[in-house]
């Protein structure tokens, strides 16, 4: 179910709760309802406060997930450039590493942008071990001849580890942005609030329209939470254009010369 569909479901639940509250006014005795309005108002105020605090916190948290993913993705560009530069300066022996860097970027694009419905796939424990083992094995296979080559190799190794760590952190952050059932509890609070307000409100057109506007506001907040916490899917999502430009600039590495054949020029 898409974020828009879920938002409309939440709006329907909350608005339906307010309508039920108004309908209950015709069932409950008028004296009992009048005597209980103070209690209903107090409980509605309490739930309203809780809902405002938690709903606002969830929107802020989802926005933080989005901006964090965006800033981490932006931080990868200079890391990639430094790795490629260090391997290029190292010489022809590092051609395989430059080709591996481009292949790793292609896998990253597929992982984060390849599935528009499910979103990024998390790194498994086995995949993490294989990645670090392969990366360590490659750098260990190089034999630097000069002090400059040793420094270039050390720089490339450290940055490659940072590149992988950043990607894994990004994937872990998206795996569970919120504790389980938090949004469900918030929706229950919203339904209880609208039910209480429906019991206390005058059953007229103005009250119905006011409750409809409020339910749409709650639904739009849920929409923002769902969309911002999934920055690679849905309507509000990050664009892969930046990653595509990096791949185009890196191009293909010619294994004979160690030079780049720019994909943008092909």
Digit-coded pLDDT (tens) for 115-169: 766 678 778 888 888 888 988 898 888 888 889 999 999 999 999 999 999 988 8
**How many structural domains are present in the chain?**
1
Encode pLDDT of 57-110 as tens digits.
999 999 999 999 999 988 888 999 999 999 888 888 888 888 888 888 888 888
Q: For residues 169-183, give the mean pLDDT.
A: 82
236 located within any domain: yes
27 located within any domain: no
Residue 167 lies in a domain: yes
| Containing structural domain, residue 120 | 3-22+32-265
HEC assignment per residue over the chain:
CCHHHHHHHHHHHHHHHHHHHHHHCCCCCHHHHHHHHHHHHHHHHHHHHHHHHHHHHHHHHHHHHHHHHHHHHHHHHHHHHHHHHHHHHHCHHHHHHHHHHHHHHHHHHHHHHCCCCCCCCCCCHHHHHHHHHHHHHHHHHCCCCCHHHHHHHHHHHHHHHHHHHHHHHHHHHHHCCCCCCHHHHHHHHHHHHHHHHHHHCCCCHHHHHHHHHHHHHHHHHHHHHHHHCCCCCCCCCCCCHHHHHHHHHHCEECCCCCCEECHHHC
pTM above 0.85, yes or no: no
Asked if residue 107 belongs to a domain, the reply is yes
**Range 10-33 average pLDDT:** 85
């Amino acid at each position: 179910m898409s974020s828009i569909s879920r938002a409309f479901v939440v709006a329907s639940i909350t608005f339906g709760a307010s309508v039920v509250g108004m309908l209950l006014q015709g069932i409950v005795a008028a004296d009992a309802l009048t005597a209980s309005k103070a209690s209903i108002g107090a409980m509605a105020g309490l739930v309203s406060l809780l809902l405002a605090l938690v709903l606002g916190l969830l929107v802020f948290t989802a926005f933080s997930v989005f901006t964090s993913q965006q800033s981490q993705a932006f931080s990868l560009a200079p890391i990639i450039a430094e790795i490629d530069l260090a391997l290029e300066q190292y010489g022809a022996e590092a051609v395989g590493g430059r080709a591996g860097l481009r292949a790793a970027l292609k896998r990253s694009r597929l992982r984060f942008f390849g599935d528009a419905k499910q979103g990024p796939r998390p790194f498994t424990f086995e995949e993490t071990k294989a990645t670090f083992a392969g990366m360590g094995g490659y750098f260990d296979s190089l034999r630097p001849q000069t002090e400059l080559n040793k420094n270039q190799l050390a720089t490339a190794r450290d940055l490659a580890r940072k590149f992988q760590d950043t990607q894994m952190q990004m994937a872990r952050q998206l795996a569970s942005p919120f504790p389980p059932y938090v949004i469900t509890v918030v929706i229950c609070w919203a339904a209880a609030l609208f039910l209480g307000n429906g019991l206390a409100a005058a059953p007229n057109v103005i009250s119905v329209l006011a409750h409809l506007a409020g339910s749409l506001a709650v639904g739009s907040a849920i929409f923002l939470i769902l969309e911002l916490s999934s920055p690679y899917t849905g309507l509000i999502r990050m664009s892969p254009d930046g990653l595509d430009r990096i791949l185009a600039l890196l191009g293909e590495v010619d294994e004979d010369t160690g030079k780049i054949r720019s994909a943008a020029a092909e």
